[in-house]
Amino acid sequence: MTPGDRGAEVEIFGERYVLRSTDSPDHLQRVAEYVDGKFREVARQHSALVASKVAVLASLNIADELFKQNDEARRREAELLARVDGIVELLHRQEVVE
């Protein structure tokens, strides 16, 4: 544990874990609650799965969400940059006319 680390005890899918991080205990708790919710969602949909399979499917679902959010963020960034480029071009044209 490094000097800036803090810990939080959390529960995910019935198991208790002590997490250590420089993030706040509240943040760690929110992350754990999110992961626990994803585990439980998969377990409800596939009640016959063992915990390790639930963990894999929940992890895949979380990774899928992350990839989709990153793709959307990149799309929006590209859109904004294109708009900024358009504005800069209009300003440049205005300077040339004056």
Q: Write the pLDDT tens digit of every residue in 29-63.
A: 999 999 999 999 999 999 999 999 999 999 999 99
With cut-offs at 50, 70 and 90, classify the pLDDT of residue 87: very high
**Residue 13: inside a domain:** yes
In a domain, 1, yes or no: no
Mention every residue, 6+ apart, whose C-beta is less than 8 A from residue 46.
53, 54, 57
Tell me the C-alpha distance between 59 and 53, whole Å: 10
HSE-CB of 54 using CA atoms within 13 angstroms: 20
Residue 58, in any domain of the structure: yes
Question: Does the pTM of the predicted model rise above 0.75?
Answer: yes
Domain of 83 in residue numbering reads as 6-97
Could you give the number of structural domains in the chain? 1
